[in-house]
Amino acid sequence: MVTPMIKNYRPILLLFIYVMLGILIDQIFIRKAFLPKSTCASYTLSIKNPIEIPFQVSPNVQIINLSQPINADFKCINTKKLLNFINTTICLHETKNDRFVSNSFHGTDSIWEEEGVKRILQLLIRHPYLDFIDIGANIGTYTMYAAALGRFVLAIDCFAPNINRIHRAVQITNVANRVVLIQNAIFTHSGQYLHLKNYSRNIGGQELDISKKLFINQNVINNPYIVKTIKFDELLPILVARGVRGAIIKMDIERSESFVVESGSRVFDTLEIPFVQMEWMGVRSYPDRAKVIIDFFVKRGYDPKTDSCKLLSITQHATWPDGICWIKRNVSNFC
């Protein structure tokens, strides 16, 4: 009678041993390799498909610990349902200080950049192997909808009041397992502290002021209008560790989009990135930055297109619309 009983429980015993070995490997190897040294609380990376990472996360990368409670009196609302089944929670700024983004949310009737968010959701649904990178997350409109869809999201924003609102929304909706939140400005040099320009009625959308470098002290670190820089490539270990092989990018960082491509060639060379949604309105006023962006994407086989997929002329970039898309030529079903 004993032998058949052991046989019956053998699959359970093997499963128990497998789970315990996985926990042991995570504690000894994975956490040691991927946890950054940061001024923020620590964050444990979950590994979908572990592979060898050639370098650790830079200590300049500030990863927010989303498991840590955040006590703040934010107005957080349930949002409009998009595509008839996806809604989420967004935590707002006071509308008198944020006339663009927060002021676009009216209960379940409207959201910020609804057509852009729907486009991203439709592409993610159409291409289930792609995850989402939100560069310039603001209060997290795109981030929270993509996470509600069930995709992994790497969200980057440098302004602490924005970060805190995303943090709270992530906790309310219980999606911390699929969001990594980064509090840094992306720039061509890592580890610098730079000013944000303060726009009185656009609190969440400040431009990076690269004209001044700062002497660092505690007052500087605690000022939300002074931000620490990283290179985009410094986020690659996080993406690879999370098993990301391809992603859609939304890029809206107030005329600083060129800094992403100048510091992010390794991300684009390593991952499959077939589609980039980019704000172009501010870039037009910086012809040198526009040229950097155009040269980068054209070299990698992307075409600039309108939201309706009309091909744009490279030579007429000064007249391009406020929002554009870069789409790789060798991909299908992105228009």
- Residue 92 in any domain: the answer is no
- Residue 194 in any domain: the answer is yes
Q: What angle do CA 278, 200, 158 make, to 5 degrees?
A: 45
DSSP 197: P
- Residue 32 in any domain: the answer is no
- Residue 30 in any domain: the answer is no
Would you state the structure tokens that stand for residue 140, as one six-digit string? 């997290």
Q: How far apart are CA 328 and CA 14, in angstroms?
A: 46
- Residue 18 in any domain: the answer is no
**Residues of the domain holding 261:** 114-328
- Residue 43 in any domain: the answer is no
- Residue 153 in any domain: the answer is yes
Q: How far apart are CA 165 and CA 116, in angstroms?
A: 21
pLDDT of residue 240: 95
* Whether this model's pTM surpasses 0.85: no
Q: Low-confidence residues of the chain, pLDDT below 70?
A: 1-55, 213-220
Helix axes 160-173, 141-149, angle to 10 degrees: 20
CATH code, 278: 3.40.50.150
Those residues whose C-beta lies under 8 Å from the C-beta of residue 328, and which sit 6 or more positions away, are 273, 274, 275, 300, 301, 302, 303, 334
- Residue 141 in any domain: the answer is yes
Domain count for the chain: 1
Give residue for tokens 């400005």.
185
159's torsion region: left (phi>0), alpha (psi -120 to 50) or beta?
beta
Which parts of 7-142 are beta strand (E)?
A: 75-78, 89-92, 131-135
Q: How far apart are CA 141 and CA 113, in angstroms?
A: 8
